[in-house]
Amino acid sequence: MKLSKFDILFGLCLAFIGLLLPFSNPRETLIQLITLAAIWSIFAIGFDFVFGSLGMISFGHATFLGVGGYALSLATQKYGLPFMAGVGLAIFLGAVFALLFSFFALRVSGIFFALVTLALSQLVFILADSKLRSFTGGSDGILGVERPSLLGIDFFDPINFYWFVLAIYTLVMLAVISLRSSPFGRVIAAIRNNEIRADQLGFNVNRYKQITFVISGALSGLAGALLASLLMYMNPQMLHWTTSGDVIIMTLLGGSGTLWGATVGVIAFEFLKEWLSSWTEYWYGVLGMIFILVTIFVPRGIVGELERMYSTRQKRLDLRQRRAK
Amino acid sequence: MTKRLEGKVALVTGCGASGPGWGNGKAMAVLFAREGAKVHGCDIQESAALETQSIVQEEGGVMSVTACDVTQPDEVEKLIKKCVDIHGGIDILVNNVGTARVGGVVEQSLEEWRQVFDINLTSMFLAAKHAIPYMLKQGKGSIINIGSVAGVRDSGVPYVSYTVPGGSRYTFRTSNTLDMENRMALSYMQDKKLKKIYAVTADYQATRDGWEWFKKNATSSGAQIAGEDYTPLGNRDFSSVVDKIAKSDADGVFLALTGSDVVTFLKQAGQVNLSKSKVIFGPVVADETMAAGVGPSALGVNSGMRYHYTINNAANRKFVEAYQKKFNVFPPMAAGEAYDGMSWWLDTVEKTGVWDKEKWVDAFANSVRENSVEGKKTMRACDRQALQVGYWGEVVQGTPPAPALTMKITQVFPENKLFTDCKQ
Amino acid sequence: MSTIVIGLSLGMLLFLLAAGLTLIFGMLGVINFAHGAIYMLGAYVSFEVGKQTGSFLMGVIAAITITGVLGAAVEKLSLRPLYERPHFYQLILTFGLILVLSDVVRYIWGSGYQEVSIPPLWNGTVDMLGSTIPVYRLFVIGLGVVVSTLLYLFLEKSTFGMLVRAASSDAEMVRILGLPVGTIRMAVFSIGCALSGLAGAIAAPLFPVELGMATNTIIDCFIVVILGGLGNIRGAIAASLMVGMVRALGYVYMPSWVDILTFSLLILTLLTRPQGLFFRAARSA
């Protein structure tokens, strides 16, 4: 999965917008929205690792998100650890839970995998909501989650926090890009293409799936920590399976398996949500309808379609060039 | 926790809390001990100081206490000396004792004025007077004097002499507290002379706490607990629990449930006609919306009410009329509650005349709502709850234009039955 | 003793709920996430029609009809274009359907509770086995038995059932033989949805009729379906009864742990027999 020209161009556009945004004197709500989108993008990227790269549909990712959020909240509120330690813990726990889930989930495939991840995820939700109440604050959640405290910068200022999140997002994207073009990434692509053949070629398919799952969990945990920090509040709703459903919608909307699909999907979802809710209170239903239509008619998602149009255009240009010779 | 105060000695005046829970002095004493300091605390109520001490010692800290009236010079002198004797010095002096008397210059008596100044300021003078010589000898020391926001800006309430509120500054409750509702439920139980109670509690912190409180007070007033069950929030099947209750000899059923759990329970209890043999009640379980969801099985259920459209005052009549005109139904409990809170807040904001969030918060914290739809409400600055009467009622058959199942207010509890003083 | 009756009634209710889901998966390979939403729609429709006509039976019939027709429409318009594609597209589409259905119901009926009372015929209680048991619960058990028998007979013994089974194991062959595979699939989906609508109408007198129904019942369905083995009707019956019993016992001794018990059962199964406790290699009833 080499980096295509499209990928680079698109990335540059995003970077351009992302860097310029704070200087255009935006409203505080817009900055919050973009920060939220960046965080969800990290989550969606994590999710797409499993969905786009391996074609496994998991309804359990809300758990990794939520575990990350709780890790940060408890680490900073209850145990007085520094913010970055909390983030590290979030990443670690997201990975651990993903590993745990993989023991159950990888024994079955396809639809079963979806259902099993859903069931496990719901169990964690119930525990956080009731039995582990003294730990998690139950359905009331944890108030007053911290912002980072680095170099004396006030991260309660939305613009400063935006830069922080953007920096992390950039790091994540760079990591993903290098992973995709690495030997590891190519094995994953091979498994996606034809699992049996990959297995016959000698690759331990299950081990690769597990590793991918764990990376996916780690990224989701990171996103969860950032989300709790943005909202300055953490509660079990992050763990509910409908949150997993939301990220699936976003990923599909944007285009799964592509480099920028997750990000675009999140932005499209958030902006649609804002726009739709301004003229109807049934925006979720309309969104569902849009999503259904996209699933039927635009299955590759926005970025997928753009990529296809771009490559078709390229091919046509090449053809014309060759004929001209 | 890092041990930032390791090796230091701290003296905290007013280290006991004046009511249940925490106060500034108590919190400071405990916190300092956690950070490694040796703490000496004093309070005019020795029991309060001892309570703080037990917390510190339970956590493995070091604390000693004295009973002391900080307005008396010789007692203060003895206090400081005792601290130095026990712990070998004094590094931190926290002058935390403070009080308030409500009233402007005209209303307040000279006696009260003098009292407040003695307690708040003279105590600081005396403590510093006796502590500083020791600190000079040590070559180091710090004195922290606790003051109040009201000293910095207008809080909207006439406090010529002043106090320090606790809790989150920005959170207020305009409607019932669960505490109020539990008290009403207890009173109802006693009125009805119910002897054996079966409780169904949602597995949720607030409902659990509520049941614990009720259980303690019910048993101390002579009632017995026939059984208690904890069900998950959102539980869909109470048939086993209903069965157990039916088989027990309880005469009352206490529901510490919220939301749709109440509907589910009553529907399923209704199938075995539970309400025929047992009195079903709860702190906040019934309103028109719930009754509509349950059907006739809701008849006879008693509950605290957070608002009702039959409350008879001018403001409510106006609200109900306007609501009916717009929506063609009587306002449900939730609508009334929301309207009450929002209109109070917005009116307060408007009255301040400025766009200053801090001013709004201060104004609200000390506001009195004469014309709330539920009668007069006063916001208590100390715990951010609205002082108000409590309504208790029953689900009854309604005659048009009321809905088929409606609430009837059976009792109005005055404020003093439902609220404890918020001493500081 | 009464715990057993309660367990049976809980189990049968679960079965009514899960039957449609497992049928659709068994015969069509589609996991219908919107199953809970259709169940909710069935409850609301039975409420509305019951209110207008004063008859519980009319309400039930209306619920079955409307959900059945909706199912057929959904299959033809949205699922059919997706059959060529990997399975998860259909799964995801049905998730989107939940959102649409929920808001449609909210638009029509608002977000409050709707009340459906037990029809007078089945009202009242019976004293048996030392407890007072509501007649309606016995009715539910009876209905569950009837429905499962009919379903079994339909799939195993009827011609149409044979066509359905044939189409699910080899659609190509059935098409070559000149039979309308598309119609068969639509019928199956429609029946599955109708079953869900029936479950909703039957459950309405027992539980609060509100919007949360769409998402909080689906988990139960999935548990039953995983335990029983996807597509396995007999497995679904057994699993429903098992879960019902575990729940009933749990409610007696430790009500706040019931959900966790159910999930632990699930996890245990996944560790030992991940394909389900009653899994059969061939998809059949």
In chain B, residues with a C-beta closer than 8 Å to the C-beta of C131 are 243, 246-247
**Mean pLDDT across B41-54:** 86
**DSSP state, residue A140:** G
Give the one of A80, A126, A133 whose C-beta lies nearest to B205's C-beta: A133
Contact C260 A131 (CB under 8 A): yes
Q: What is the pLDDT of residue B153?
A: 47
Q: Where do the domains of chain B lie, and which CATH numbers do they carry?
A: 9-151 (3.40.50.720), 169-424 (3.40.50.2300)
Phi, psi angles (nearest 5°) of residue C44: -65, -40
Q: What is the pLDDT of residue B163?
A: 31
pLDDT band at A251 (very low <50, low <70, confident <90, very high): very high
pLDDT band at B156 (very low <50, low <70, confident <90, very high): very low
User: Is the model's pLDDT at B142 over the cut of 60?
Assistant: yes
Could you say which residues of chain C have pLDDT below 50?
A: 282-285
In chain A, residues with a C-beta closer than 8 Å to the C-beta of B206 are 140
Do B378 and B418 meet the contact criterion of CB atoms below 8 Å apart? no
Highest mean pLDDT among A60-74, B70-84, B401-415: A60-74
Among A126-135, B52-61, B188-197, B291-300, where is mean pLDDT lowest?
Answer: A126-135
Q: What is the pLDDT of residue A247?
A: 92
Q: What is the distance between the alpha carbons of residues B114 and B122, in angstroms, rounded to a whole number?
A: 10
Q: Mutating which of C268, C270, C272, C283 best tests the A interface, going by the most A Cβ atoms within 10 A?
A: C270
Q: What is the pLDDT of residue B107?
A: 65
**Mean pLDDT across A46-68:** 89
Q: What is the distance between the alpha carbons of residues C158 and C169, in angstroms, rounded to a whole number?
A: 17
User: Is the model's pLDDT at A45 over the cut of 90?
Assistant: yes
Q: Mutating which of C256, C258, C260, C261 best tests the B interface, going by the most B Cβ atoms within 10 A?
A: C256
Interface of A with C (CB under 8 A): 55, 57, 104, 107-108, 110-112, 114-116, 118-120, 122-123, 126-127, 130-131, 241-242, 245, 248-249, 252, 282, 284-289, 291-292, 295-296, 299
pLDDT band at A310 (very low <50, low <70, confident <90, very high): confident
Q: Which residues contact C129 (CB under 8 A, 6 or more apart)?
A: C1, C2, C4, C5
Among A133-137, B79-83, B182-186, C41-45, where is mean pLDDT lowest?
Answer: A133-137
C residues 99-158 lying closer than 8 A (beta carbon) to A: 99-104, 106-107
Contact B205 A130 (CB under 8 A): no
Q: What is the pLDDT of residue C103?
A: 93
How many Cβ atoms sit within 10 Å of the Cβ of residue A2?
Answer: 9
- Which chains have 3 or more CB–CB distances shorter than 8 Å to chain A? B, C
* Cα angle value C206/C20/C12 (rounded, 5°): 40
Read off the pLDDT of residues A86-115 as tens digits, 9 standing for 90 and up.
999 999 999 999 999 888 777 777 777 888
Strands B224-231 and B196-202: parallel
Q: What is the pLDDT of residue C260?
A: 83
Contact C9 B239 (CB under 8 A): yes
Q: What is the distance between the alpha carbons of residues A322 and A134, in angstroms, rounded to a whole number?
A: 70
pLDDT band at B161 (very low <50, low <70, confident <90, very high): very low
CA B128 to each of CA A284, B68, B131, B222, C278: distance values in angstroms, whole numbers, following the listed order: 64, 15, 5, 52, 81
Specify the 3-state DSSP secondary structure of B104.
Answer: coil
Read off the pLDDT of residues B401-412 as tens digits, 9 standing for 90 and up.
888 889 999 999
- For chain A, give the percent of residues with pLDDT over 90: 32
Interface A-B: count of C-beta contacts within 8 A: 17
In chain B, residues with a C-beta closer than 8 Å to the C-beta of A141 are none
Give chain A's mean pLDDT: 87
* Cα angle value B401/B406/B408 (rounded, 5°): 110
Q: Mutating which of B208, B231, B243, B276 best tests the C interface, going by the most C Cβ atoms within 10 A?
A: B243
In chain B, residues with a C-beta closer than 8 Å to the C-beta of C118 are 271
Q: Which of B134, B170, B198, B323 is catalytic?
A: B170
Nearest CA in chain A to C77: A296
Q: What is the distance between the alpha carbons of residues A290 and A304, in angstroms, rounded to a whole number?
A: 17
Read off the pLDDT of residues A2-21 as tens digits, 9 standing for 90 and up.
677 788 888 888 888 888 88
Q: What is the pLDDT of residue C283?
A: 45
- Which chains have 3 or more CB–CB distances shorter than 8 Å to chain B? A, C
Contact A119 C215 (CB under 8 A): no
**DSSP state, residue C75:** I
In chain C, residues with a C-beta closer than 8 Å to the C-beta of B240 are 3, 6, 248, 251-252, 255
Q: What is the distance between the alpha carbons of residues C138 and C9, in angstroms, rounded to a whole number?
A: 7
In chain C, residues with a C-beta closer than 8 Å to the C-beta of A242 are 215
Q: What is the pLDDT of residue B423?
A: 55
Q: What is the CATH number of domain C2-272?
A: 1.10.3470
- For chain A, give the percent of residues with pLDDT over 70: 99
Do A81 and A302 meet the contact criterion of CB atoms below 8 Å apart? no
Contact A288 C99 (CB under 8 A): yes
Specify the 3-state DSSP secondary structure of B140.
Answer: coil
DSSP H helical ranges for chain C: 2-28, 35-53, 56-74, 87-109, 135-157, 159-169, 171-176, 181-203, 213-216, 218-228, 233-253, 258-272
User: Is the model's pLDDT at A274 over the cut of 50?
Assistant: yes
In chain A, residues with a C-beta closer than 8 Å to the C-beta of C270 are 104, 107-108, 116
Contact B1 A129 (CB under 8 A): no
pTM of the model: 0.74
pLDDT band at B102 (very low <50, low <70, confident <90, very high): low
Q: What is the pLDDT of residue B116?
A: 79
Give the one of B1, B203, B232 whose C-beta lies nearest to A80's C-beta: B1
**Mean pLDDT across A130-158:** 80
Distance from CA of C116 to the nearest CA of B (A): 8
Read off the pLDDT of residues B318-362 as tens digits, 9 standing for 90 and up.
999 999 999 888 898 888 989 999 999 999 999 988 888 888 888
- Tell me how far apart the 2 most distant CA atoms of chain C are, in Å: 60
Read off the pLDDT of residues B288-301 as tens digits, 9 standing for 90 and up.
888 888 888 899 99
Read off the pLDDT of residues A206-234 as tens digits, 9 standing for 90 and up.
889 899 999 999 999 999 999 999 998 88
Q: What is the pLDDT of residue C220?
A: 83
